[in-house]
Structure 1
Amino acid sequence: MSNLAQRLITAFIAIPIVFFLLWFCDYSRIGLMCFLAGVGAWEWAGMASKMYKGPDMRYLSFASSLALTLAWALSKGDYFGLPAVPYVVGMTFLVIFAIYIGIAYAKVEIDHLFPWLVMQLGAPLYIGLWGGMNALMMGNGQGFEHCYPFILVMTSMWLCDTVAYFFGKFAAGKGPFGRHPFAPSISPKKTWEGSIAGSIATIAWVAYWVKCSAALSSFNIDFNWGIAIAIGVLLTVAGQAGDLLMSALKRWSGTKDSGNLFVGHGGVLDRCDSFFLAAPALYLLLDFLKNIA
């Protein structure tokens, strides 16, 4: 079976499951976010361990990123019928940070201590502390209206990846289109042509959603076409930056796929890499716009 066929079959199975979990309730939504963060951190820790000697941190990375994602949800309030818990994110990270430093001092040789600590802390820092902000894009209750902002991010990233993949594979280098590597030292198969095609599709999709639907109505912002297009630009840039970051991590560690959770797609960091950067970037921008309105 070809890789493309495997990708399509996995997508047909996984997409309905993801949308059901997003629709069902806040428990299923936050559970999905915690699961993705935990598995993504597990994969990150495994790749970092290939480069620097030290103890196996995959289990702790899984638990740390899951805990930070849950902490973001608790800090927001209204989830699980609970009020907002103040300082829970900062306190959770301080505990995790102390544990990592203690393990580094006790278990890692001095020659590898600092690079090991930086790379292993990257999992809870990036995926848990930063990517955990995905939880802030959602609300409680049954229905898609409680997670429209995250669905916007998710569909935008899928669209950008899909258009870039197919355009780069089948159109770049043919007819009027050239084939110029986008980041050859990181991901040789990515092209400027695919990136631009994916960006145009993403900007159009996001602008339509923002301007012509109620996707972001919960932020109480008066969106014009300029802001809508700017949000589309932000998402496509942040998403592709997150994609390249994970590609760089894989190439640096000599890893083809971060995992094998999604057959034909790889692991969480192969398939969801752009979410961990794009969703927090969107939330911070919208929160800024709301506060200056």
Structure 2
Amino acid sequence: MTGKGPAIDALKLLSGFAVRVLTGGGIAAIMLLVVFYGQTTGVGVLFSLISMASVRELYRIIRPNQKYTTDFLGIAMTGALPLAAAYGGYSGLIAATALGALLCMFVHCLLLGLRTSECAVTIFGAIYIGFMLSHLVLLHNLESGLIIALATILGVWANDVFAYLIGSAFGKHKLAPRISPKKSWEGFFGGAVFTVATWAALSLFPQANLELYELIVIGACIALTAVAGDLLESRIKREAGVKDSGRIFPGHGGMLDRFDSLIVVSPVAFYLYLLMGA
């Protein structure tokens, strides 16, 4: 009897880990294929769809009892931003964000007569998800950005998988108990090590145009930002009393649960890559 408890716990850990790896690995594989083989249109459409699905979940979390059909405008604006980045570059993204925000303010406050807080939520969702994630499209379109975009996706996936595995097996010290009770410092450092290792491996590819120390710095920043993105979404869900943003992916929850880290990591990877002189 005494040996059954640990054995059952180990089986549950392995089962949960397997589901998480298979689901996350499948999603990452699809994204990597599109980013690697896809042209401007394919990459823009991919992240447009991801952004729209994610922001829809965000709106449902923040305002579940919304009686107005205002989500449509925010979803449309969010989906337009990655496409603007794909075809118009950075200036196109900035212009689309500004014009979209103005349109939201005009429709919400003047045409529909809604409270300014409703307008703020709509614009927040579009910027938090659409604008941020569009930086991965910008990164992909840089002359040497393809391999960095691939490393960004792989680094976030490695962080998620190994933080979960190491945290589940050895986690004792809580990272942010009030926001995400299951996260531990052991899991954080475990995920960070493998994220940095993923980026350090880019030193084997001259296309990256970065020195080893620069790759390590970017990898460390990505690891920190990935956890921050995860905790940010956890805080939003906790305030709303929601466990998962959706039920699309086994072991991961909804679309926003799956991409919360990548959303915040994308601009960090883009600007650091530019800062390093790429």
TM range (shorter): 0.7 to 0.9
User: 2:165, 2:266 → 1: CA distance?
Assistant: 24
SS at match of 1:261: coil
Aligned residue pair count = 263
**1:190 corresponds to which letter in structure 2?**
K
Unaligned runs of 5+ in 1: 77-85, 173-178, 218-222
SS at match of 2:253: coil
User: 2:200, 2:19 → 1: CA distance?
Assistant: 31
**1:28 corresponds to which letter in structure 2?**
G
Deviations 1:166-194 (A, max 9, x none): 1111122xxxxxx1111111111001111
For the pair 1:151 / 2:158, whether they are aligned, the reply is: no
User: 2:113, 2:245 → 1: CA distance?
Assistant: 24
User: 2:16, 2:186 → 1: CA distance?
Assistant: 22
CA contact (8 A) 1:21 1:28 kept: yes
The structure where helix makes up a greater share of residues is: 2
Deviations 1:121-155 (A, max 9, x none): 211111112221110121399xxx87211110111
Deviations 1:204-237 (A, max 9, x none): 221222x2223523xxxxx333322211111111
SS at match of 2:183: strand
Partner of 2:70: 57
Assess, with a 3 A threshold, how the Cα gap between structure 1 residues 216 and 186 changes in structure 2: closer, same or farther.
same
Assess, with a 3 A threshold, how the Cα gap between structure 1 residues 8 and 286 changes in structure 2: closer, same or farther.
closer
CA RMSD of aligned residues (A): 2.6
CA contact (8 A) 2:214 2:276 kept: no
For the pair 1:212 / 2:204, whether they are aligned, the reply is: yes
For the pair 1:96 / 2:95, whether they are aligned, the reply is: no
User: 1:140, 1:90 → 2: CA distance?
Assistant: 17
Deviations 1:238-270 (A, max 9, x none): 111111111111111122111222232112211
Equivalence map 1:1-293=2 (5 Å): 3-11=16-24, 13-26=26-39, 27-50=41-64, 55-76=68-89, 87-105=91-109, 106-107=111-112, 113-139=115-141, 147-172=146-171, 179-209=172-202, 211-214=203-206, 216-217=208-209, 223-290=210-277
TM-score with structure 1 length normalisation? 0.80
TM-score with structure 2 length normalisation? 0.84
